[in-house]
Structure 1
Amino acid sequence: MSTGESCPKCAAATISKRSAEPWCPACEWNLDHFEKERRPEIGWRWVDRRLFRTAYWLTERQFAELRDAPSLARAATAARIATTAVSVVLLALVAALFVAGVVLLVHDFFTPINLIGALLVLIAVVLRPRLGRLSALTRDAEELDRGRAPALFAVIDRVAAAAGTPVPDVVLLSADFNASTTTVGVRRRRVLTLGAQLWSVLDPQERVALLGHELGHFVNGDIRRGLVTQAAGSTLGAVAYLLRPDGRRTRTGGLLGMIAEALLDLLAGTLARLVGLLHLLLLWISRRDSQRAEYLADELAAKVAGSAAAIRLSDTSLLYDAIDTVVRREARAGNGAAAWSAAGRQAQTGLAGDIPALRQLSRRTEASLFASHPPAGLRAGLLAARAAQPAAVIVTEAEQARMDEELGAHYERVRRELATAHW
């Protein structure tokens, strides 16, 4: 890990992990370095470099503000106000298009103006905000039944009560090394998805922390789950797509027709780029509030599971590659969730000494204007910097064993899926 070189700023030994450019763990010199191997965000190196610097600065500033705040709570941030305002305007415009289309469609029926009305209605339907569907989530996940998994649902109920959050309407189990919550449909059904790979390797209190964090998104004002603000994430992108010229079209109609089509394509392309840029700007703004919501969810995780468990959960994401590799190895060998857990724990123990360096490195590799989550290292750092909280919900090893027994058939389905997956 040590590079054998000294920091030019404080003379401490510099370090490197995962072939990253060296940095100083003491004074953090060069931690904000833009690496050439970084995945491009726009595609122009000089633009990507400046976007990274901006994202790094904004991410570090937000962390410092929350670290020094007396308490963490929902707030009307500038990012939230801007995103909500734009979303309201977009919804109003789509509604106006629909109303105008209906008026023109029924006005003086069987006239050319009816075609304009039909076109406006069609555009409004295409631009309508997407509320999500449960069927889209169940394609890659299996719904769990409360009657067949009483121990799991009992823990979910206890965590929800301790965190002061609603209970999810639907709980799904997927094969992912992840977990998520969302709200779908007109009835706004709350959905919790647990990734079997992640769930299986967590200890009892880490599972409580995961549930506390995910259920926290139902009450932390996460802008990605708002009924109104969902429009900002889809409408502008749909407008840009509709305006984009079709390069495969065959131009006909003589020279004047070709010139007219070329001019229309130029105008549509320019408008598409402008709308696309506005979409990007709105996305970048809303991501600041999304990252703040993640910190608030972490605070709820610490409240219900204890700060130590919440920090361990955050560190798990730093070791994703190692844990995912050993879990898939065990699945291919025909071993079930118990073997996944043991292998995952062994990998975590072997890499425990790398955690401080990986926390720092995550601040470089995970800083992005597109990131909906703060760097894992900062999430763990914020929990460690604030007052330690005791666990409000305690889950025993016996309860964990009952949960895993209930999920046995589901784990086997996931094992078969992992064993045959190409990665």
Structure 2
Amino acid sequence: MITTTTGTGACPRCGATPVSLDGALPWCAGCDWNLDTYDARRAPPEFGWSWVDRRTHRLAARLTRQQYATLLGRSLESTGPGLTGVLVAGISVLLLLGVAGLAVAGVWLLFAYPFPNLAVVGGVALIALAVALRPRFGRLDRDLDVLTEREAPELHALVREVATAVGAPMPHVVGVDGDINAYATSVGLRRRRVLGLGLPLWGALDGPARVALLGHELGHFVNGDVRRGPVTQPALTMLGNAADLFRPRGGSDGGGLLVMVGEWLGHLASWTLSRLLFAGHVVLVATALRESQRAEYLADEMAARAGGTAGATRLLDTLLRTDSVATAVRNAVRGGHGPDTWRVETGRALDAAAGRLSLERQLTVREDTSLFATHPPTGLRHRMLGARPWQDPAVTLTKARAARIDAELARHYERAGRALSWNA
């Protein structure tokens, strides 16, 4: 529901009448006044204390706006990690060296003194701690159905063409799942590149938006995203794992006063260390995600390069209204229809919502702003593309070629659509 809020008066910046959407705090559609205000009624808690959440939202809003303004007037070509990325990489290296040092010290204690001795206990403890804190390099998602080039030659050919257009390497693994999403990541020690396409989303997109989606995801392999770096990706979880490891657990039920005092002191020390580690984790992640949001803008630029500005903005609007995609797919599946109908019905839903889409984009500037958001607000991403030079698609996906790709994915579409319909 779109409402004007004449009772609150005119916008103090430009004099326009503020608007509201679905009960959100009013804002000015002309100049963004009040969009940086924290809306406690609609914002999910992050730290659990409203005064903290309010201040962190204010900080995140300022950083998000500054980043947008900085990138708006410059080339979005990837020039490697920025200062923030270098800082995160340096911290990550120190963390990895620290874990390696624990393991080396543990092994040294095992063999430094004649056996048996108490040093062995310390050595085993250090090795166990190093194992618990070891970097995790990820693994292939079990829900991903891997498609070989033999199974889906047309899809692989399109991925290869888009990769060439955006200057990205070909992924080692191309797969599909049932999510209304898509992702690109690297897994394992060998850092195998993985492209995952959620079929409800893929089937609901038109040709230019499909190409833009591939351009965006493949762009993550070359845009310096710290969440996918071989050093930074595992390090982003290490302090969090350490905080959980030292978090106090339940104590004994008895044992006398000395035991109770000892347990209390131990819990206090453990709790303090756990909170310090968690605070370090929060700071590191919040810092890293600034660089991650920068990488998203770069990936959007590659989406526009591959599928054109129109395809990239259409993709963003579709991602903004994934509820419409879910409804269109469910209704089509229940009626016995495939991805052609998903696409048509999703398009109709987006066209029907055209009157409020611009306000929904604006509202994301408030509601998608967070220190822990991996993506910039969709509204700012859409503005960034609109403010940059118009791009025609470098890769064209014809209806005939799209139909051949859909034929390769037919049985996967059926399974994904059925699962989405059942989970309604």
TM tier, smaller:
over 0.9
Structure-2 residue corresponding to 1:192: 195
Deviates more, 1:2-11 or 1:345-354: 2-11
SS of equivalent residue, structure 1 residue 13: coil
Deviates more, 1:358-367 or 1:110-119: 110-119
Q: 1:363 to 1:413 in 2, by over 3 A?
A: same
* Matched ranges for 1:8-407 at <5 A: 8-9=11-12, 10-37=14-41, 38-107=43-112, 108-134=114-140, 137=141, 139-246=142-249, 248-407=250-409
> Residue 116 of structure 1 aligns to which amino acid in structure 2?
G
Deviates more, 1:384-393 or 1:150-159: 384-393
Q: CA deviation at 1:23?
A: 1.1
Rounded Cα–Cα distance in structure 1 between residues aligned with 2:372 and 2:136:
20
Rounded Cα–Cα distance in structure 1 between residues aligned with 2:60 and 2:407:
44
SS of equivalent residue, structure 1 residue 32: coil
| Contact 2:76 2:297 (C-alpha < 8 Å) held by counterparts | no
SS of equivalent residue, structure 1 residue 181: strand
Q: CA deviation at 1:252?
A: 4.5
SS of equivalent residue, structure 1 residue 148: coil
SS of equivalent residue, structure 1 residue 132: coil
> Residue 182 of structure 2 aligns to which amino acid in structure 1?
A
Task: Give identity over the alignment, percent.
Answer: 47
Rounded Cα–Cα distance in structure 2 between residues aligned with 1:153 and 1:365:
37
| Contact 1:165 1:215 (C-alpha < 8 Å) held by counterparts | yes
SS of equivalent residue, structure 1 residue 186: coil
Q: CA deviation at 1:70?
A: 4.1
Tell me the C-alpha RMSD between the 2 structures: 1.5
> Residue 34 of structure 1 aligns to which amino acid in structure 2?
Y
> Residue 261 of structure 1 aligns to which amino acid in structure 2?
E
Q: 1:310 to 1:113 in 2, by over 3 A?
A: same
SS of equivalent residue, structure 1 residue 299: helix
Deviates more, 1:307-316 or 1:46-55: 307-316
Q: CA deviation at 1:337?
A: 2.0
Rounded Cα–Cα distance in structure 1 between residues aligned with 2:265 and 2:5:
61
> Residue 165 of structure 1 aligns to which amino acid in structure 2?
A
SS of equivalent residue, structure 1 residue 368: coil
| Contact 1:7 1:29 (C-alpha < 8 Å) held by counterparts | no
Q: CA deviation at 1:19?
A: 2.0
Deviates more, 1:87-96 or 1:390-399: 390-399
> Residue 48 of structure 1 aligns to which amino acid in structure 2?
D
| Contact 2:11 2:28 (C-alpha < 8 Å) held by counterparts | no
| Contact 1:83 1:232 (C-alpha < 8 Å) held by counterparts | no
Q: CA deviation at 1:59?
A: 0.6
Deviates more, 1:21-30 or 1:263-272: 21-30
Rounded Cα–Cα distance in structure 1 between residues aligned with 2:77 and 2:174:
28
> Residue 83 of structure 1 aligns to which amino acid in structure 2?
V
| Contact 1:244 1:269 (C-alpha < 8 Å) held by counterparts | yes
| Contact 1:52 1:367 (C-alpha < 8 Å) held by counterparts | yes
| Contact 1:315 1:377 (C-alpha < 8 Å) held by counterparts | no
| Contact 1:98 1:120 (C-alpha < 8 Å) held by counterparts | yes
Rounded Cα–Cα distance in structure 2 between residues aligned with 1:332 and 1:45:
43
Rounded Cα–Cα distance in structure 1 between residues aligned with 2:184 and 2:81:
22
1:254-308 Cα offsets, whole Å, 9 max, x none, are 3222211211110110111111011101111011000000001111111111112
Q: CA deviation at 1:161?
A: 1.0
Q: CA deviation at 1:243?
A: 0.9
| Contact 1:210 1:301 (C-alpha < 8 Å) held by counterparts | yes
1:354-410 Cα offsets, whole Å, 9 max, x none, are 221111111011001000100111111111111112211111111111111110010
1:109-157 Cα offsets, whole Å, 9 max, x none, are 33222121111111101101000112xx0x2221112112111111001
SS of equivalent residue, structure 1 residue 16: strand
SS of equivalent residue, structure 2 residue 18: strand
Rounded Cα–Cα distance in structure 2 between residues aligned with 1:71 and 1:317:
22
- Partner of residue 417 from structure 2, selected from 401, 404, 415: 415
> Residue 99 of structure 1 aligns to which amino acid in structure 2?
V
Rounded Cα–Cα distance in structure 2 between residues aligned with 1:170 and 1:22:
46
Q: CA deviation at 1:203?
A: 0.7
| Contact 1:209 1:305 (C-alpha < 8 Å) held by counterparts | yes
Structure 1 segments unaligned to the other structure (5+ residues): none
Q: CA deviation at 1:411?
A: 0.5
Q: 1:163 to 1:72 in 2, by over 3 A?
A: closer
| Contact 2:11 2:17 (C-alpha < 8 Å) held by counterparts | no
Rounded Cα–Cα distance in structure 1 between residues aligned with 2:76 and 2:168:
18
| Contact 1:331 1:419 (C-alpha < 8 Å) held by counterparts | yes
SS of equivalent residue, structure 2 residue 136: coil
Q: CA deviation at 1:4?
A: 4.8
Rounded Cα–Cα distance in structure 1 between residues aligned with 2:75 and 2:94:
35
Rounded Cα–Cα distance in structure 2 between residues aligned with 1:166 and 1:353:
40
Q: 1:22 to 1:116 in 2, by over 3 A?
A: same
